[in-house]
Structure 1
């Protein structure tokens, strides 16, 4: 050990000084000892000076070197400096990863000091709150916010619940913002885009309201007739038959609604179905037969172009989807009109078409036709037996078959629903 070697060194120096004193006299022995001590002091002063200069600008690659005890001191300093350097590199790496993760968050994050000045923010917060990362650092956030509800939220100091911010321009958007204190002086301002969540909740509320309405009407009718029959037990047979017929029609309407709801629920659950080779030309003949039965001779139903390609898919689902399109054409085409269905090969796709000479659809309604319970004419849809779920079911079935539906219409002249199936599902 170096410290032990140093003690031995000074012990030998003392022995030599005693020996010189014994041989040449005390004066020479003391002089020798003083000389050695002076050299040792100069050696320590020199190394202390080097250590002091290094401490002014400590770098791991220029730690001084020496020998004896000072070598051990400098080696320990070098080891500690290297350890600290590695710790700093690990910390810097952790901070870089943390900042990268915070930068990538879809939620907005703003760090505020005790005076609500911005210390840091990520890109999502800039998008949500219209901040500028270069210009707004160090600025009080209350001076920069355009939303009064958020400014009031910051001032009231009650952060137990988030605040909802509704934005109308440049596009409709809904944000949820909340303050989270994370030490004695700083706060996090978190923002989240909940636009899609609100839309889902709105759709859910509308769905429940529509189902309730669709069921309430036939139940009211049936209940009314039952009360009439109870109150008038002696009514004639013709009246009772009329009431029973109307009650039957309303129960059939409820049954169709429940069946469509069950079908839609099954499709939305993503349950796997068996796929097979579907003979579309044969299905086209079946669709025409069913359309004639639904029309009862009031329309002309014809098959236009009929190519031979078959399709890989689920027969029952394709029958339901294409049949819905044909039945809609029957319902919305006045008596004497024509419904033409076709199946043809187009380049790398196969296309089913259903064209009618009906009342047509205004352009503003076309994008919403596949929404559940959306009706262009509510009264007409109910009178023709529609549930308002047919095109929503069609949309889900076509999505499962990677198909695309294109709707074109001339108001007062008729509409065409074209369904394109990808080449991967077409069998020549």
Structure 2
């Protein structure tokens, strides 16, 4: 079968040969060639016009490709158009199916373009956030969710940690926002209803606070009677004295646990306290002196002050956090070990670090060390009298002061706990000092 382009070539060559032959037989040698060229041009213009007309139709019908090259091109173009239309129909069907299935999800789903304007959302988003279609389409999401905290979170583009807030239309709903970047800085928001988890968390906090308060009274009575029995030690047999000592130890341990639980409860519920400037240098010097007394000369404790920044916050809480870190180093370091306490700064933040030469911590324990009652070595913790709440208190104190806790450790070589804070320019003094205080080995 002869192809259209071969037919067009043959026709062109025949007409060209006829036009050239006119040089010998025609009295006007170039007239036949000009007429043939004009005819070919007119035919191509007519075919091009027909092709243009067919391509402009919404539902074109191609011509038989056996006739000419232009009809063959028309047929190929129309075939590609039909394939594209079929692909678009399938794509639209899949998109509609995805949107239909997403619209019935219990979690809210919102698509936001790179400018922060709403493109699409499901029914749950209307329930959680009060969005209205089509009025709110192409509206900035920060104009519809009027919460300064959300605006800062949305514009920061740091979405590793979910954002939680109350619903702007229903204050009994507590929502968790998970944002994912895609495309050209477009955003997909998935919003979960965490009201039940919020209620459970509040119940847990209330339970711990209430139980801790209720335990203080009987503990005070028990310890009071035990102190009374101490005055009768000379009249008690040896076996009774051992029982009395064990009761005193366990009562003291329970009292420490209740104090830590109450401290955690206060940290979780306290919001209206007024912050003040804390002299961190003096605070660390006092805590180091207390650690030296606790160590009783068994460790070398060195305090290094490499900057003179103060912190804006709550002195009692910072004292509790720093004391927990330094006392833990004393408890878990072998006799003769060295403990380095540093207060220093770098280009971004200021830090308080405590390094020891203790037993170290396995890597898989580190992410869970700040959980309540988590013990990397339960037998060791019981021997040192720990409650399992010290690092949880440190974590909550640092959260209250916009800080973070970093832990590095090598088993058998020691650990380093670093509390980092954002610098406050108003709290920096006009001079810098560097002081060291070292205890002597016993």
Bigger relative contact order, structure 1 or 2, given CA contacts below 8 A and separation 6+?
Answer: 2
What TM-score results when the alignment is normalised by the length of structure 1?
0.48
Higher Cα Rg, which structure: 1
